[in-house]
Structure 1
Amino acid sequence: MKYDMTLTEKQNLTAYLISIATITIGGSVYNFAISYFLLNETGSALYFSINLAISSITFLIITPFSGVLTDFLNRRNIIIYGEFILMLSILLLFIVTYFYGLSLFSIYIVTFIRSLFNAIVNNAFSASVSNMFHIDNLQKVLGLSSSIQSSATFLGPILGGLLFGISSFELVLFIFLLLSLISFLFDYSINFELFKKENISNNFITDSKINYFKKFLDEIKSGFKYLVSVPILSTVIFVGVFINFFNAGDMVLPEKMMINVLDFSPIQVGIVNGIMACGTVVAGIYLANTKKIENHLNVMRWGFIICAFITILIPIPIYLEKHFQFNFLYLSTILFVKFFVLALINVPFIRIIHEETEDYMKGRVFSGLGVISSAIIPIAFILYGFIYDLGFYFLPNIISAVIIILLSIIYFNPKKFI
């Protein structure tokens, strides 16, 4: 039976989507400007790498703690206060830059603050989605948000390049600050407890005799224990993350092929990446307008199998030595399909987590997913980058595809969980 959205839920959806669009565009413009400054103005990849390292390490350290905070504190307050601090960090960077000029130290400080509070806010938002919307409407919500995020991520660098080229870094910061304010105001209007279920009571905050650090660690452990105790959850998260490990080469190889092997120009690389992002946009629109997916595991299994075959096909232009037109159309098409399928997989993935996780544990489960992903995926990028630099393309992709197919067939079988 289909559940129709209430007026309040529709208002939630409107505010949520506008908030996502504004903050994603603003963040993409800001990230482009920071990256351009670090790489172009300083001429050093090291300074750029340090900024990435600060972001990654901060996220990895704080994410487990953010899960505990999400489960034990008011999620709306976490989001609102966290977004206010994020907005304040950009305001301070704007003031410092306006009066004293842009400096590496100020960038690194703001990167640290934003990584810290983004991890907390994003975790609270992930855990709150099923409280903001009815479970039967999650597919539509996730489809629309995925489509909007992909579109905004695609537009962000274009706007960033345009603004940075014709104006100043201060204007980029001012626009990001304005978009952050818009996002903050719409998030403030959201009802975060529309479909909230009563949580199990706890004494984490009220017990004055407690060792808070030990309690934090105990609660983080309890999140991982809970994750492992639910078979379908542990399968979807752990196997899904390992499959994504072997899918990581598809994020590295196309760029290397286009830039270092097939001699695409920067504009041509950008167009292919834009078409690739359109795959996610189209998938989001499709999911928002199609009937509810019933067999989540089947969709994930066949989706990953299709992705595995695409992994095998990606390096073919290297060996065929065709003209640019063929290589351009081939990569554009195959990457569009790849990201379309990945977006289809992502919605059942997130929905299973929401459906199978008790509300009082969602923060810790989502933070556990963040820790596992952020710990293992960068290793995959480094590994595949090293292998491709050695000139091996086809063989590692075949091995990866075979592993993905085997994991999908063995573990994403609905009969295992009946």
Structure 2
Amino acid sequence: MDEAAKYKKATYHLWTFTASKMIAMLGSHVLSFGISLYILAMTGSATSFATNMICSILPRALVAPLAGYVADNYSKKRTILLAQAGTILTMAGLLLYTELFGMSVNAIYVTTVFYTLCSAFSGVTFTSAIATLVNPERLQRAMSFNQMSMSVAAVGGPVIGGMMYGFFSMEVFLIVHMIAYAIAFCLEATMNFNLYSTRGDNTKKEKIWKGLVSGFSYIKQHKVIKVVMWLSLWINLFFSAIVVGGTYVIIELLKVEPTHFGFVEAAGALGMLVASIYFATRGEIKVPLRFSKFCLLLLSSSLAFAVIPLVTDFSYSMIVVFYILLYFIFAIFEMGVNMPLGVFMQKLISEEYRGRVFGLMETMAMSMMPIGMLVYGILYDMLPATGILLVTSAIIVVMTLVLLRTAVLREAHPEFYDETTMAERVAN
């Protein structure tokens, strides 16, 4: 295939995978909203709700490295289509069970586990395949479009789900989800996942254990990749302070109504959407690790600003407006950290190891989420929220300065720092 034809196909990929991701994620958010309300209405138990959340996190964290191995050693297209088909069949199974025996919480738990396993394989494989779907010059735009589709789905899913919940049964939610994934399946079946692949056709497949071990060895040999993975782990742990504390501070301590808190959370999704559009329309960040470091320092500072309404005499309306603006800015800085890092990692990691590296990163990140939520849940019950947020902000600043020190940035971007050093010598 000549370059003009490849560029045209890459443009097709850019829009097709954005549409497929948006449709699938929209269906997923609609179903998630409906199931959450259904469990609470059926049981009235927070424990049942939390159990379903564990079923949606733990299996993915455990199986992500295996999904990465499969992505690296088998056809990405086949893996994604099989995972999507598995999702559709899982929902069809729950629909059939409901028709025969009626809906039950245990059936939802089992369905959530299988759905999460399928999502792990499709998600990790899709992430590792982005760099082979589009040309390197449009990699940042592709990842921005990917994030944009998820942001739109995150905003639209609960809205659609809320409108449907009052008028339709749970079976309709399942059918909508199946239709969404069926459309995504048809779109992804037309894509060429080897368009910009650099791997030969005769690449030898590794056995599972050897493949996982070689993935670990590859990470150990690359200092910058190790730094980014540790950074991802600690970020997911310490930013649980705002995931848990945001709701606790705003609703419990400041007594903001849940309806108004919904506007605060929507502002975060809107901020991600705005940042996605920005990255999609601008050129690629030249020194991504330094850019992410700067945004992470701003992000940790915005975490500290969250205490201002706790120590000042703001009116109710000022509190709501303050947190709407803070969550909007918070989301923009978060995208400023994630987007350049994502593009950098796509280009830095060799194609034959991308799946395993991203799979391990996902395992580390997702395993930190429940730990962070548990730790901060206990801390907020024992200590003042003001102190927790300020100390966490300071810890993230120190962690950023240590992990992303100049020596690491110079190793990650030698071409930039060598040019800078030469320019300084000439000036002197």
| TM-score after normalising by structure 1 | 0.93
Contact 2:148 2:277 in 1 (8 A): yes
1:313 and 2:305 are equivalent in the alignment? yes
Match of 2:46 in 1: 45
Structure-1 separation of matches of 2:373 and 2:65:
23
Q: Kindly, what percent of the aligned residue pairs are identical?
A: 22
Match of 2:204 in 1: 202
**Structure 1: unaligned runs, 5 residues or longer:** 205-214
1:384 and 2:384 are equivalent in the alignment? no
Contact 2:30 2:173 in 1 (8 A): yes
Contact 2:22 2:150 in 1 (8 A): yes
The alignment partner of 1:6 has SS state of helix
1:331 and 2:323 are equivalent in the alignment? yes
Q: Alpha carbons of 1:85 and 1:240: their partners in 2 closer, same or farther (altered >3 Å)?
A: closer
Structure-2 separation of matches of 1:321 and 1:112:
46
Structure-1 separation of matches of 2:124 and 2:205:
21
Contact 1:243 1:407 in 2 (8 A): no
Structure-1 separation of matches of 2:210 and 2:391:
39
Paired AA for residue 151 in structure 1: V
Structure-1 separation of matches of 2:127 and 2:218:
18
Structure-1 separation of matches of 2:398 and 2:283:
29
Paired AA for residue 366 in structure 1: F
Q: Alpha carbons of 1:240 and 1:47: their partners in 2 closer, same or farther (altered >3 Å)?
A: closer
Structure-2 separation of matches of 1:151 and 1:27:
12
Paired AA for residue 269 in structure 1: F
Deviations 1:29-70 (A, max 9, x none): 101111111112111122222222222221122112111111
Contact 2:97 2:103 in 1 (8 A): yes
Structure-2 separation of matches of 1:50 and 1:411:
35
Match of 2:132 in 1: 131
1:106 deviates by: 1.9
1:276 deviates by: 1.4
Which range moves more in the overlay, 408-417 or 303-312?
408-417
Match of 1:166 in 2: 167
Match of 1:400 in 2: 392
Structure-1 separation of matches of 2:205 and 2:400:
41
1:416 deviates by: 4.2
Structure-2 separation of matches of 1:14 and 1:402:
41
Following superposition of structure 1 onto structure 2, how do residues 260-279 of structure 1 map, counting pairs within 5 Å?
A: 260-279=252-271
Match of 1:363 in 2: 355
1:99 deviates by: 3.8
The alignment partner of 1:120 has SS state of helix
Contact 2:20 2:184 in 1 (8 A): yes
Structure-1 separation of matches of 2:329 and 2:242:
12
The alignment partner of 1:28 has SS state of helix
Match of 1:116 in 2: 117
Structure-2 separation of matches of 1:80 and 1:296:
32
Match of 1:415 in 2: 410
1:294 deviates by: 0.6
**Structure 2: unaligned runs, 5 residues or longer:** 415-428
The alignment partner of 1:166 has SS state of coil
1:60 and 2:42 are equivalent in the alignment? no
Deviations 1:64-114 (A, max 9, x none): 211111111111100011111111111221222234321123212211111
Following superposition of structure 1 onto structure 2, how do residues 296-307 of structure 1 map, counting pairs within 5 Å?
A: 296-307=288-299
Deviations 1:316-366 (A, max 9, x none): 212213211110111111110010111121111111211111111111101
1:203 deviates by: 4.2
Contact 1:33 1:172 in 2 (8 A): yes
Contact 1:233 1:352 in 2 (8 A): no
Match of 1:27 in 2: 28
Structure-1 separation of matches of 2:110 and 2:70:
23
1:259 deviates by: 1.4
Contact 1:354 1:362 in 2 (8 A): yes
Deviations 1:200-256 (A, max 9, x none): 72243xxxxxxxxxx423322221221121111111121232133222212222211
Which range moves more in the overlay, 285-294 or 261-270?
261-270
The alignment partner of 2:166 has SS state of helix
Following superposition of structure 1 onto structure 2, how do residues 253-264 of structure 1 map, counting pairs within 5 Å?
A: 253-264=245-256
Paired AA for residue 302 in structure 2: I
Following superposition of structure 1 onto structure 2, how do residues 219-258 of structure 1 map, counting pairs within 5 Å?
A: 219-258=211-250
Match of 1:7 in 2: 8
Paired AA for residue 276 in structure 1: G
Match of 2:95 in 1: 94
Which range moves more in the overlay, 276-285 or 406-415?
406-415
Structure-2 separation of matches of 1:170 and 1:97:
8
Match of 2:80 in 1: 79
Structure-1 separation of matches of 2:120 and 2:364:
14
**After TM superposition, where is structure 1 displaced by more than 4 Å over at least 4 residues in a row?**
none
Q: Alpha carbons of 1:11 and 1:195: their partners in 2 closer, same or farther (altered >3 Å)?
A: same
Deviations 1:349-407 (A, max 9, x none): 11121111111111110111011112223211211121122242222222222222222
Contact 2:87 2:118 in 1 (8 A): yes
Structure-1 separation of matches of 2:214 and 2:322:
47
Contact 1:20 1:145 in 2 (8 A): yes
Paired AA for residue 372 in structure 1: M
Structure-1 separation of matches of 2:284 and 2:119:
31
Match of 2:422 in 1: none
Paired AA for residue 245 in structure 2: L
Structure-2 separation of matches of 1:90 and 1:100:
15
Structure-1 separation of matches of 2:388 and 2:217:
34
Structure-2 separation of matches of 1:285 and 1:270:
23
